[in-house]
């Protein structure tokens, strides 16, 4: 059976031929998971308020990954929500899953407008990783890292990969065996893949640029 992957709150994603396709979904207030096939595996990307976590985790059984976690508070909130939610069936493997995968968002551009933990803040990165691996390991799993770099700055991909490599070295045999890299968009996805991206955001290339004028009307 083909794998179908969806992303909440984002433009559609497209990966290399051996990877699944990510599609955008309506805002959570309008989102109804039965709208999607039962084998869908949903990825959430974007700002997630603490008071929205329970609704997301409990009401979307196809949720597979939350990709934009950058605070211990949010990680613990997700952990508590998973703890209070019945185990689900993984849509791709058919196995019972009791944990939820999350990605830590890393700020590789150090722009004020960008969310995430600064790529050079080793202490902060270690703190959230330790929380996930040691305090919340019964409910959530660190599955990868995500970044949204500055336009035209290809060094963002190298920075995220370096953070990944450092974590794999530090936590070898301590609960982290591999980490996905979610990075790159329509204008730079080729470079991102060359630097090791395992998922890229190229919705504009597939569906065309968004028309923001309608949203402002």
Stated length of the chain: 217
Whether residue 7 is predicted with pLDDT greater than 90 in this model: the reply is: no
By mean pLDDT, which of 11-20, 51-60, 91-100 is the weakest?
A: 11-20
Percent of the chain with pLDDT over 70: 71
pLDDT at 213: 62
Cα 181 to its chain centre, rounded Å, is: 9
Residue 24 in any domain: the answer is yes
Domain of 164: which CATH number?
3.20.20.10
Whether residue 206 is predicted with pLDDT greater than 70 in this model: the reply is: no
The vertex-48 CA angle with 152 and 84, nearest 5°, equals 140
- Give CA–CA dist 65/62, Å, rounded: 9
User: What confidence tens digit (pLDDT) does each residue in 162-173 have?
Assistant: 999 999 999 988
Q: What is the mean pLDDT of residues 126-130?
A: 96
Residue 215 in any domain: the answer is no
pLDDT at 16: 35
The full DSSP string for 89-146 is E-TTT--EE--EEEEEEEESS--TT--SEETT-HHHHHHHHHIIIIISTTTEEEEEEE
Residue 58 in any domain: the answer is yes
Cα 86 to its chain centre, rounded Å, is: 22
Residue 161 in any domain: the answer is yes
Residue 69 in any domain: the answer is yes
Residue 52 in any domain: the answer is yes
Count of domains for the chain = 1
Q: Are 136 and 76 in contact (CB under 8 A)?
A: yes
pLDDT at 61: 78
Residue 65 in any domain: the answer is yes
Name which residue leads in pLDDT, 11 or 153: 153
Q: What is the mean pLDDT of residues 37-62?
A: 81
Q: Are 104 and 129 in contact (CB under 8 A)?
A: yes
Q: What is the mean pLDDT of residues 137-155?
A: 91
pLDDT band at 134 (very low <50, low <70, confident <90, very high): very high
pLDDT band at 158 (very low <50, low <70, confident <90, very high): very high
Percent of the chain with pLDDT over 90: 36
Residue 155 in any domain: the answer is yes
Question: Contacts from 200-209 at CB under 8 Å and sequence distance 24+?
Answer: 200/13, 200/14, 200/15, 201/10, 201/11, 201/13, 201/22, 202/12, 202/13, 202/14, 203/10, 203/11, 203/12, 203/13, 203/14, 203/24, 204/11, 205/14, 206/12, 206/14, 207/11, 207/12
Parent domain of 155: 4-209
pTM of the model as a whole = 0.79
pLDDT at 6: 42
């Amino acid at each position: 059976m083909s794998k179908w992957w969806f992303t909440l709150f984002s433009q559609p994603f497209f990966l290399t031929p051996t990877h699944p396709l990510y599609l955008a979904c309506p805002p959570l207030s309008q989102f109804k998971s039965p709208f999607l096939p039962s084998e869908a595996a949903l990825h959430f990307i974007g700002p997630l308020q603490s008071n929205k976590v329970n609704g997301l985790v409990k009401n979307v059984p196809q949720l597979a990954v939350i990709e934009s976690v950058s605070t211990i508070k949010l990680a613990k909130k997700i952990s508590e929500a998973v703890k209070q939610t019945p185990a689900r069936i993984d849509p791709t493997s058919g196995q019972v899953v009791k944990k939820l995968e999350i990605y830590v968002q890393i700020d590789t551009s150090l722009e004020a407008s960008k969310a995430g933990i600064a790529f050079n803040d080793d202490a902060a990165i270690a703190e959230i990783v330790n929380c996930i691996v040691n305090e919340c390991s019964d409910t959530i799993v660190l599955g990868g890292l995500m970044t949204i770099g500055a336009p035209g700055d290809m060094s963002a991909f190298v920075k995220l990969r370096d953070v990944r490599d450092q974590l794999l070295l530090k936590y070898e045999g301590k609960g982290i065996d591999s980490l996905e890299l979610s990075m790159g968009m329509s204008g730079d996805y080729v470079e991102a893949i060359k630097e090791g991206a395992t998922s890229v955001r190229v919705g504009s290339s597939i569906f065309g640029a968004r028309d923001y004028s309608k949203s402002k009307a």
